[in-house]
């Protein structure tokens, strides 16, 4: 290997102390010149990263388990902002803080457009990951030829989900989310509906009810593959309780179901001794992973609390980490393995409200769950994927000094930066949403921009900020993780999970059979 | 959803300010103590010591006016962050459980859902059902006036 001298005089710019080593070196690892920047910490840390990547050996074994982390709305800008936020929260440097999934060795970019939109919503996005096909916005578990909100016209258009495949292979299947468990992302594991909002029977259109479409909550409790779904933790209790029944946490409010059915009781009945149901921390703590095989937990009427508000929840709620850990404790008892989706469901909601504080605190909760799961699973037999379903219009802008609080005003060289009108601006802004007014941009010089309830400014006035259409990142470790490379369509994620498990290959080899009657099936 | 930003009109503002002064009785208005919606709650969703201390007193609180349930309503819902109706979040308005019901002194002129407002009223704690709408609240600011913050 020759050392290329870039700039004369060589003696000053390069210390060719390595020349001797060069002469004696053998094999592929050639000696390198010792550059003047050789002791620079940036140089050293990236050189270390090169060594780590050079040492990677692809794991081509069959995966026993797959864990798919989805940060809802956890686009690259949001992830970067969350990294800075967390670093600063820990009283350290923001931008060089390392997020847990940054240690996963393989990555790719994911193109998230849906079949009918440049910008996807969570339904076809999650469906792309769980089925391998792109479909239309607002639709769940159907091919792109189905018709939005039309039950009869969507019959026969179901696509098979990784959850259905795994259950047919006698694996366990779970979903954990801080949003409603009937919301689009977790529902993509098990549901089929021409409208993602058909979460309870009260949401069905007349046509849908007549044509025999079943609401998403019932699809969850009546899931017919294998012995039914194993772990379902999240919010959305009102979709499972009748409109005549008082809610356990908010007794002045009721369930939503018109058919009078209490699906939580139906769940317990279906699974008898191996079933469990919880609605708050206390009942959640009573679920014993050694006994419960089919656990349903619904911690809120609708979405669970934002992480920032969780301590003040009336009934008490576990964190995403606590839910994820318990989910794995239950699922891992199946010797045939499991597929688990873990969704940070409300990163998205914070951004819809232009409330960057709640977006970032929920992102931190999502990252903590990743840390806990990585510490728990064996990457030799478990494929772990971390990705997002779409981005948001959040951006990080200005030229703020490195130690400026990420939620704060842009400061350059210690001074608040001003726009052309002499007004300050925050580092984080949104392209659209409730933070825009039908008036000149407000002067926020005296606003408490660091307050948790502060709404970031945006440009286009909308009641709810929108998703954004740029690519999102995929990170992976474990069996077949090396198949994530380059830029892929989002539905490619399905193929890596499927290949890792050899799922459809095994499915083809298995004898066709009818869905088993749950109560009689034993693992 | 958009409402006319009537409150930004100077004459309207001065009317509200006059009402505020009147509410405090004769003489110059005594500054009401300011608190935050989130500070009314303690861990586990019970009322905080701060809330108990301020109950029955005239206080000032900032937040956003959720679109009124009825146009001619004499009350509205005050929330920490704007009640943005997110097309993908839920099929029904999922009210936050820390909302404050504001019972206004007179028929209100709605402010835009994303205008930060300052409300002054007497803090009332405990569950109460509005007889006209059936809306249940746990915290209220009664005999209230408000202005854009």
User: What is the set of active-site residues of A?
Assistant: 122
Domain ranges of chain A: 10-54, 65-393+466-517
User: How far apart are alpha carbons A127 and A494 in whole angstroms?
Assistant: 9
The owner of tokens 């921009």 is A449
Statement: residue A169 has pLDDT above 80: yes
Beta-strand pair A338-344/A394-396:
unpaired
Identify all chain A residues contacting B87, using CB atoms and an 8 Å cutoff: 464
Q: Does B134 touch chain A (CB under 8 A)?
A: no
Of A203, A353, A438, the CB nearest to B81: A353
Q: What is the spatial distance between Cα A133 and Cα A125, in angstroms, rounded to a whole number?
A: 9
Whether B128 is covered by a domain: the verdict is yes
Lowest mean pLDDT among A249-253, A333-337, A469-473: A249-253
- CATH number of A65-393+466-517, picked from 3.30.200.20, 3.40.50.300, 3.30.420.40, 3.40.720.10: 3.40.720.10
User: From the list A203, A302, A464, which residue is nearest B94 (CB)?
Assistant: A302
Q: How far is CA B37 from CA A305, A313, A494, in A?
A: 16, 14, 44
List the structure tokens of A344: 């940070």
Chain B closest-CA separation from residue A302 CA (Å): 7
State the Cα torsion A433-A435-A439-A442 to the nearest 10°: -160
CATH number of B94's domain = 2.40.50.140
Taking contacts as CB-CB distances below 8 angstroms, the residues of chain B near A314 are: 44-45, 97
Q: Is A7 exposed, middle or buried (0-12, 13-18, 19+ CB in 10 A)?
A: exposed
Return the SS3 of A335.
Answer: coil
The domain of B70 spans 6-148
Which candidate from A349, A436, A463 shows the least CB-CB separation from B85? A463
The answer to whether the CB of B53 falls within 8 A of the CB of B40 is no
Asked if the Cβ–Cβ distance from A313 to B136 is below 8 Å, we say no
Lowest mean pLDDT among A336-345, A426-435, B79-88: B79-88
Instruction: Inform me whether the C-beta atom of residue B119 falls under 8 Å from chain A C-beta atoms.
Output: no
**Candidates A72, A122, A255, A302, partner chain B, best to mutate (most B CBs within 10 A):** A302
From the candidates A246, A253, A258, A312, which should be mutated to test the interface with B, based on the most B CB atoms within 10 A? A312
B82–A455 C-beta distance less than 8 A = yes
Question: What are A90-142's pLDDT values in tens digits?
Answer: 999 999 999 999 999 999 999 999 999 999 999 999 999 999 999 999 999 99
Average pLDDT for A343-353: 97
Q: How high is the ipTM of this complex?
A: 0.77
Computed on alpha carbons and rounded to an integer, the radius of gyration of chain A in Å comes to: 25
A122, A184, A437: residue with CB nearest B114: A437
Position B1 in a domain? no
Picking from B34, B67, B90, B115 by the largest number of A CB atoms within 10 A of its own CB, the best residue to mutate is B90
Closest Cα in chain B to A121: B88
Which residues have a Cβ under 8 Å from the Cβ of A201 and sit 6 or more positions away? A209, A215, A218, A257, A258, A259
Number of folded domains that form chain B: 1
d(CA A158, CA A201): 20
Interior/surface letters A456-483, b for 16+ CB within 10 angstroms, e for the rest: bbbeebbbbbbbbbebbbbbbbbbbbbb
- In chain A, which residues have their Cβ closer than 8 Å to the Cβ of B89? 303, 349, 352, 464
Residues contacting residue A170 through CB under 8 Å, at least 6 positions apart: A226, A334, A336, A523
Please give the pLDDT value at position A511.
66
The whole-number pLDDT of residue B96 equals 76
Residue A205 distance to chain B (closest CA, Å): 13
Q: In chain A, which residues have their Cβ closer than 8 Å to the Cβ of B1?
A: 463
The band of B30, judged by pLDDT with boundaries at 50, 70 and 90, is low
> At which residue do the structure tokens 């710019």 appear?
A13
Look at residue B61 and tell me if it is in a domain.
Answer: yes
Q: Which of A97-111, A221-235, B91-105 has the lowest mean pLDDT?
A: B91-105
Q: Is the pLDDT of residue A143 over 60?
A: yes
Of the given ranges (A62-71, A106-115, B105-114), which has the lowest mean pLDDT?
B105-114
Q: How far is CA A355 from CA A94, A183, A469, B142, in A?
A: 20, 21, 20, 28
DSSP, collapsed to helix, strand or coil, labels residue B132 as coil
| Reported pTM | 0.89
Q: Residue B127 is encoded by which pair of tokens?
A: 């569950």
Mean pLDDT throughout B67-84? 78
Answer yes or no: do B97 and A315 touch at CB < 8 A.
no
Summarised one tens digit per residue, pLDDT across range A186-222 is 999 999 999 999 999 999 999 999 999 999 999 999 9
pLDDT in tens, A289-325: 999 999 999 999 999 999 999 999 999 999 999 999 9
């Amino acid at each position: 290997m020759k050392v290329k001298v870039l700039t004369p005089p060589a003696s000053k710019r390069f210390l060719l102390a390595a020349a001797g080593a060069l002469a004696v070196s053998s094999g592929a690892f050639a000696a390198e010149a010792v550059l003047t920047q050789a002791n620079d910490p940036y140089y050293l840390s990236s050189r270390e990263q090169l060594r780590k990547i050079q040492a990677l050996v692809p794991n081509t074994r069959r995966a026993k388990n797959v864990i798919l982390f989805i940060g809802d709305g956890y686009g690259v800008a949001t992830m970067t902002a969350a990294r800075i936020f967390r670093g600063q929260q820990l009283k350290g440097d923001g931008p060089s803080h390392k997020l847990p999934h940054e240690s996963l060795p393989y990555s790719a970019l994911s193109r998230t457009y849906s079949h009918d939109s440049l910008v996807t919503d969570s339904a076809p996005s999650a469906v792309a990951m769980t089925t391998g096909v792109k479909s239309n916005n607002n639709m769940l578990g159907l091919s792109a030829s189905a018709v939005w909100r039309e039950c009869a016209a969507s019959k026969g258009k179901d696509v098979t989900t990784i959850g259905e495949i795994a259950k047919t292979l006698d694996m366990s299947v779970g979903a954990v989310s801080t949003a409603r468990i009937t919301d689009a992302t977790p529902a993509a594991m098990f549901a089929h509906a021409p409208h993602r909002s058909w979460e309870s029977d009260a949401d069905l259109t007349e046509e849908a009810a007549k044509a025999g479409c079943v609401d998403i909550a019932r699809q969850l409790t009546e899931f017919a593959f294998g012995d039914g779904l194993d772990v379902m933790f999240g919010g959305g209790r009102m979709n499972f309780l009748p409109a005549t029944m008082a809610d356990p946490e908010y007794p002045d409010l009721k369930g939503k179901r018109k058919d009078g059915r209490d699906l939580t009781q139906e769940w317990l009945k279906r699974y008898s001794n191996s079933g469990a149901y919880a609605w708050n921390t206390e009942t959640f703590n009573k679920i014993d992973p050694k006994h419960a095989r089919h656990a349903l937990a619904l911690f809120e009427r609708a979405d669970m609390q934002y992480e920032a508000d969780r301590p003040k929840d009336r009934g008490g709620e576990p964190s995403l980490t606590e839910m994820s850990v318990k989910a794995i404790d239950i699922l891992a008892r199946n010797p045939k393995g499991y597929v688990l989706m873990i969704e940070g469901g409300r990163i998205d909601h914070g951004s819809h409200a232009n409330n960057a504080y709640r977006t970032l605190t929920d992102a931190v909760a999502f990252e903590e769950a990743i840390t806990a799961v990585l510490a728990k699973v064996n990457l030799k037999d478990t494929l772990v994927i971390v990705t997002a379903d779409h981005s948001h219009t959040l951006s990080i802008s200005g030229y703020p000094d490195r130690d400026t609080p990420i939620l704060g005003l842009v400061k350059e060289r210690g001074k608040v930066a001003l726009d052309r009108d002499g007004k300050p601006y925050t580092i984080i802004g949104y392209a659209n949403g409730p933070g825009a007014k039908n008036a000149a941009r407000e002067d926020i010089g005296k606003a408490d921009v660091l307050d948790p309830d502060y709404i970031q400014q945006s440009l286009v006035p909308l009641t709810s900020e929108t998703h954004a259409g740029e690519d999102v990142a995929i990170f992976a470790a474990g069996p077949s993780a090396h198949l994530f490379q380059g830029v892929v369509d989002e539905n490619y994620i399905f193929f890596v999970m499927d290949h890792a498990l050899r799922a459809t290959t095994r499915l083809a080899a298995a004898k066709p059979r009818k869905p088993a009657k749950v109560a009689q099936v034993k693992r | 959803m958009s409402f006319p930003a009537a409150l930004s009109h100077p004459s309207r503002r001065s009317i509200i300010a006059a009402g505020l002064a009147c509410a405090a009785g004769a003489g110059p208005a005594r500054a009401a103590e300011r608190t935050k919606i989130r500070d009314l709650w303690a861990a586990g969703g019970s009322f905080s010591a701060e809330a108990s201390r301020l109950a029955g007193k005239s206080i000032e609180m900032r937040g956003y006016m959720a679109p009124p349930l009825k146009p001619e309503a004499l009350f509205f819902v005050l929330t920490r962050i704007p009640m943005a109706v997110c097309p993908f979040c839920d099929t029904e308005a999922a009210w936050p459980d820390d909302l404050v019901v504001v019972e206004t002194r007179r028929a209100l002129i709605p402010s835009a859902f994303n205008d930060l407002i300052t409300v002054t009223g007497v803090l009332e704690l405990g569950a109460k059902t509005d007889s006209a709408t059936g809306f249940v609240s746990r915290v209220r600011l009664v005999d209230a006036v408000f202005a854009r913050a």
